[in-house]
Chains A and B, each alone.
Chain A
């Protein structure tokens, strides 16, 4: 039923938008400002809006009834926890490694833990809410930028910069992890109240 509702909403939206674009393309009648397709255009826009409303209604029903937000939070938190533990391991040996090895190790961390979190950005902002989702994503991105800086510093053979930056990298990923856990707890509480 839910999938059907989502599909119906999407279909109405698409038909409405295509029809609105077609009718909007017609040139105005001579000596007037608007074309004679204005009524049809308005009806198309109305259907597109109704389609969107139906889509979002069924989508919100789905997110209330299943616990996908909590599952997502828990997945992201798990990824971040693994990343933090890997970063802690790397911290103990980073200053003994060659530049190439440092970059390789950081690339592995980026590919295995950071990229999957960033790839789920749409789901994160949809399920956690725009503000909360953005907070998590920004903390992850800050950590990612600093990991990139470590790669650059390693390539330039500037070990002092790695000393300075490494604790900040950990701070940002720990911040993202804490935010995830906090929002997960809030979501669980609100679901229990429901």
Chain B
């Protein structure tokens, strides 16, 4: 029987909000720096959940499970907006060196970024029921965080043990990979196992990525992730050899041939499939989304506070209008943009942002992988077309979109965690909406300071500096491709049509998964697919309940172990 702790259940408290904001700010600064240094960032949810657990339950001794969920929602929200800014803003600074006419003003960027942070949350909330309650997407990181949050409870001991075992395996494995002790030239290099055996041609890309995180994401998805695996096989073991057989590729060999097939054929086609499939899913699920919006409206009108589990429809509409207005003002304030173009960009950008948010939320929900660079490519192409090649304005909208899609994916991950620990979605949504914009300001300031810290007050990052900003270099090449009219529009359109048809197929999420598989290297898809097949075999032998109770915490440990090791490794490389 309970021993008397019958006071109110703590969920949204001042101390949690402060802790979440402080953690979010620190993670944001650190991960923006990491993104400039190595070209990718790391999600902060797991770290925030662990620190929240130690602080709320260990030090304060009164924190609850749902309170920690609010803490990690705030922290990861602030952190993820920084990731979006770090992806786009450095490109603008680097472009300004090449193009002296490119004037960078911080205010429009901040407005666009804050607008993106708001819009990313408000567009995805009506889809919560569809993605989490109806389709029951896995959101591997969300599941992992839920397992951490619950692991210290009196009832979570067995799962905590499995989480610990997974974490230990993952950390040990990652250490072996980082130390390169197992490396064998030509067979095991850069965490990839090559199984060509000297026989299979390079254009089949016969390699598997030995990432425990990747494998664990597959373990969590099981049968639902199978189209992703099959999409990779289709792309690299059918489309690629046929293209080589019919001599559709130039006379290249080895890695150069693989790079050509990937960058010129499969990747752009995959982006098209992704967009077409997501568009079709919006149409097919329209009745369910309409139902969700109706229930939001009905809940808003109800006086019963307990019915209000989500942000009301009027708040979402107001947030959306404010964000679109921010876009408009930001775009209009850029030199060379007319009022008509600013209106067009604000409307078009918001519509595209809604679809892009859904694409990214679905991709992370199914595989934990987010196709941000593909979305940025489409965004830059569309916006430069709408703005007569105005780079500054196009990058401004791209920044808003990068922030927004990060927010959509993060909000869904956190809501999934909330679903598993029984949090009120309303409180999570309020906190994400009211705090995540802070991340935009912090990331912009950090990047601004770092840039002006260079010789002569500029060039603080970029090629040949301590902070090479690899992502910015990639995005610059995208801008150059749009300017030189070499964007593979035919692949986007043809892939889009295939995506629309795949979106109507009788397998849920098939189009998005096949598109994502074509967008990524096969090594990642194979590692994930191996996880899916392993889970299916376990379910067949031991049943669904065993998989839910034993495999989920183990997979969570594998995910967290690799994420923590990645962060540790980066910190080690930078500072030691």
Listed in ascending order, the chain A residues whose CB lies under 8 Å from chain B are 13, 17-18, 20-22, 24-28, 33-35, 41, 45, 48-49, 52, 55-56, 59, 95-100, 102-104, 107, 111, 115, 118-119, 121-122, 125, 130-131, 134-135, 137-138, 141-142, 144-161, 168
Contact = CB atoms under 8 A, between A and B. Distances in A.
Interface in B148-173: 150, 153-156
A168 B505 CA distance: 37
B363 to A, nearest CB: 19
Which applies to chain B's interface (DSSP): helix, strand, loop or mixed? Answer: helix
Given A17-B498, A52-B505, A168-B306, 20 more contacts: A20-B498, A21-B235, A21-B238, A24-B495, A25-B269, A26-B246, A95-B2, A98-B2, A99-B2, A111-B549, A134-B134, A137-B133, A138-B295, A146-B422, A148-B420, A151-B155, A158-B9, A158-B64, A160-B6, A161-B8
Contacts of A118: 136
Interface in B1-50: 1-3, 5-9
A176 to B, nearest CB: 12
Nearest to B3: A157
Contacts of A103: 155
Among A115, A131, A152, residue most surrounded by chain B Cβ atoms (within 10 Å):
A152
Interface stretch (B283-291, B354-362, B440-448, B468-476): B283-291
A47 to B, nearest CB: 11
A121 B306 CA distance: 27
A105 B254 CA distance: 58
A56 B132 CA distance: 26
Interface stretch (B88-96, B108-116, B486-494, B519-527): B486-494
B64 A156 contact: yes
Contact of B422 (A33, A35, A145, A159): A145
B421 interface: yes
Nearest to B496: A24
B134 A156 contact: no
Given A121-B136, A146-B422, A148-B421, A115 B501 contact: no
A194 B497 CA distance: 37
A167 to B, nearest CB: 10
Contacts of B490: 28, 33-35
Contacts of B155: 99-100, 102-104, 151, 154-155
A184 to B, nearest CB: 20
Contact of B506 (A24, A55, A154): A55
Contacts of B422: 145-153
Among B5, B269, B306, B501, residue most surrounded by chain A Cβ atoms (within 10 Å):
B501
Interface of B: 1-3, 5-9, 64-66, 129-130, 132-136, 150, 153-156, 234-235, 238-239, 242-243, 246, 248, 264-266, 269, 284-285, 287-288, 291, 295, 306, 309, 419-423, 489-491, 494-495, 497-498, 501-502, 504-506, 508, 544-545, 548-549
A118 B7 CA distance: 34
A131 B287 contact: yes
Contacts of B291: 131, 134-135
Contacts of B506: 55-56, 59
A137 B9 contact: no
Contact of A22 (B6, B239, B544): B239
A158 B501 contact: no
24 contacts: A18-B234, A21-B238, A25-B248, A26-B265, A33-B489, A34-B490, A35-B490, A96-B1, A111-B545, A111-B549, A115-B544, A118-B136, A121-B134, A141-B129, A141-B136, A144-B419, A148-B421, A151-B155, A153-B422, A155-B156, A156-B65, A156-B153, A158-B9, A161-B8
A152 B417 CA distance: 12
A13 B234 CA distance: 14
Contacts of B423: 149
Nearest to A97: B1
B134 A155 contact: no
Which 4 pairs of residues, A with B, have the shortest CB-CB distance?
Answer: A149-B422, A155-B153, A141-B133, A103-B155
A150 B420 CA distance: 11
Which applies to chain A's interface (DSSP): helix, strand, loop or mixed? Answer: helix
B106 to A, nearest CB: 39
A27 to B, nearest CB: 6
Contacts of A152: 64-66, 150, 153, 421-422
A52 B5 CA distance: 59
Nearest to A141: B133
A5 to B, nearest CB: 14
Contact of B154 (A25, A100, A145, A148): A100
B264 A27 contact: yes
B234 A52 contact: no
Contacts of B5: 156-159
A175 B421 CA distance: 22
B265 A122 contact: no
A168 B248 CA distance: 62
A24 B248 CA distance: 11
Contacts of B1: 95-98
B484 to A, nearest CB: 15
Nearest to A6: B506
Contacts of B266: 25
A62 B2 CA distance: 54
A24 B489 contact: no
B545 A52 contact: no
A160 B133 contact: no
Nearest to A44: B498
